[in-house]
Structure 1
């Protein structure tokens, strides 16, 4: 099996350098790499050129069109039997392609997704953000977990599709705002088999500050409503949890200001919830500092997603504005 690894890139030369360095170490060597520079001002051509003799690599520069359409640009130029999509802020374990190849031969998936984890080199904030995005105590637990809600939808930070999927289902029709979920649903509607490869994990750096993380999760909350506009049946109860949590936080603040007896009850439940996150994060990361930061990251994840979700739910569903 020959893989085509497709990586859209926008103003992140340092990230692609680290990702390509991890691909050099792959134990399975039947793959090519396509870097799609999406109209960057700070391009990575000089970085990519360093790997010309170490990887089968191709570099393309195109006008900016967003990550979804940049992946399509790569699909059109790929030679592989299977196309693999990574975000530029990922590090790839050396046995990743070997794990994927073996799993695909055994299970015959047409499209797959894999989980993400925190690398030992990540900063404490990055580890806390990784925890918040993968923890069973936040909605992140459904992103790379065997026990997800409904059918598994591969996410584009770590996703693969067969050439047949590309030829019959096409590529991305959205370039942002939930483009990977829309694509996964459409792949399934064409009758293709999708699934999670649990061992095919990547180390996803995501964001390096809580402010960046807030902006990203606010965007994710809005993206969920965009998916709902295309596929109403895909809006599940669990997707409302961050909005419910956010409303609960607002209610708790008001209770503390105006009605102390109710405030005690609200404070108790929030304290218990954050204690569960703290001790679980401590167990996972073996670090008190990361455990404390994980409380902050989880709070940001839920409230940012919840506010973005409510914003577009009111605008696009209640008031029906485009």
Structure 2
């Protein structure tokens, strides 16, 4: 089996360099790399040229269309049997492709999604954001830790499909608004086997500030509504949990004024959750500072997503 690794990039040449460097260290050798420059003003041509001796790497430059359509263009020129789609801000463990190949063949998969993790040398804020996006203490914990791997909805930072899947159902329908989730649903509806490969994780080196992290989480909530345009029923009860958490949090000071017994109960529940987040992250990351930062990022992730979903539903309703 030959892999085609598809990487869209927009104004992140040095970030791309780290990812491509990790591809040179893979224990699995049969793959090509396709970099799609999506209308960048800071192009990555020199990065690609620096690795053209060590890798079978191709460079495609296009006007800006969004990451979903850039991936489609990459898959159209790919020569592999299986397409691996990565975001430019990830780094791969050296055995990533080897584990991927083994799992795909052993389990007879047509498509896959993989989880993300934080590398030891990531910044404290990056580790805190990773915790908020992957912990069981937030709804992010659903991603990558689901018990039934066949129920996983793959994400574009780490996913892939066979050539047959792409040729049968096509690629992404939207440039950058939950297009990966919609594709996952469509792949399964077409009868293809898509599962989580837990061991095929990537190190997700998010470059967010706290403000951009809030904006991203808010957009994730909005994106879920956009997915429902293509896939009715895409919004499930679990996607409302961040909104419930937001309302629960905001109700605490109000309850102090109107009904103190319930105020005390909700406050204790909130404190238990808070302590759980801080301790869990502190022990996992071996850092009290990361634990405290994780408390902040976890609240921001839940509140922002929780606001984004009803906001977009209301926005959609107003627009008719």
- TM more than 0.5: yes
Matched, 1:34 2:47: no
Residue number in structure 2 paired with 1:70? 70
Change in CA separation of 1:257 and 1:17 when aligned onto 2, cut-off 3 Å: farther
Cα distance, 1:229 vs structure 2: 2.7
Residue number in structure 2 paired with 1:17? 17
Residue number in structure 1 paired with 2:182? 182
Cα distance, 1:149 vs structure 2: 9.4
Please give the secondary structure, in 2, of the residue aligned with 1:233.
Answer: coil
Please give the secondary structure, in 1, of the residue aligned with 2:299.
Answer: helix
Where do residues 142-157 of structure 1 align in structure 2 (5 Å cutoff)?
Answer: 142-147=142-147, 151-157=151-157
Residue number in structure 2 paired with 1:111? 111
Deviations 1:167-221 (A, max 9, x none): 1011011111110010011111111001011100000012332111111100000
Cα distance, 1:104 vs structure 2: 1.2
Structure 2 spans left out of the alignment, 5+ residues:
none
Where do residues 43-62 of structure 1 align in structure 2 (5 Å cutoff)?
Answer: 43-62=43-62
Cα distance, 1:256 vs structure 2: 4.8
Please give the secondary structure, in 2, of the residue aligned with 1:234.
Answer: coil
Return the alpha-carbon distance in structure 2 between the equivalents of residues 10 and 70 of structure 1.
10
Instruction: Please say if residues 224 and 234 of structure 2, whose CA atoms lie closer than 8 Å, have aligned partners that are also in contact.
Output: no
Residue number in structure 1 paired with 2:133? 133
Residue number in structure 1 paired with 2:319? 321
Please give the secondary structure, in 2, of the residue aligned with 1:112.
Answer: strand
Cα distance, 1:259 vs structure 2: 6.1
Deviations 1:216-253 (A, max 9, x none): 10000001111223223232111100011111222224
Where do residues 129-278 of structure 1 align in structure 2 (5 Å cutoff)?
Answer: 129-147=129-147, 151-256=151-256, 262-278=262-278
Return the alpha-carbon distance in structure 1 between the equivalents of residues 254 and 13 of structure 2.
46
Cα distance, 1:262 vs structure 2: 4.6
Return the alpha-carbon distance in structure 1 between the equivalents of residues 226 and 312 of structure 2.
8
Structure 1 spans left out of the alignment, 5+ residues:
none
Change in CA separation of 1:103 and 1:254 when aligned onto 2, cut-off 3 Å: same
Instruction: Please say if residues 146 and 198 of structure 1, whose CA atoms lie closer than 8 Å, have aligned partners that are also in contact.
Output: no
Cα distance, 1:100 vs structure 2: 0.7
Return the alpha-carbon distance in structure 2 between the equivalents of residues 45 and 36 of structure 1.
10
Residue number in structure 2 paired with 1:81? 81
Change in CA separation of 1:55 and 1:150 when aligned onto 2, cut-off 3 Å: closer
Please give the secondary structure, in 2, of the residue aligned with 1:184.
Answer: helix
Instruction: Please say if residues 111 and 192 of structure 2, whose CA atoms lie closer than 8 Å, have aligned partners that are also in contact.
Output: yes
Instruction: Please say if residues 142 and 148 of structure 1, whose CA atoms lie closer than 8 Å, have aligned partners that are also in contact.
Output: no
Aligned-residue RMSD, C-alpha: 1.6
Change in CA separation of 1:295 and 1:63 when aligned onto 2, cut-off 3 Å: same
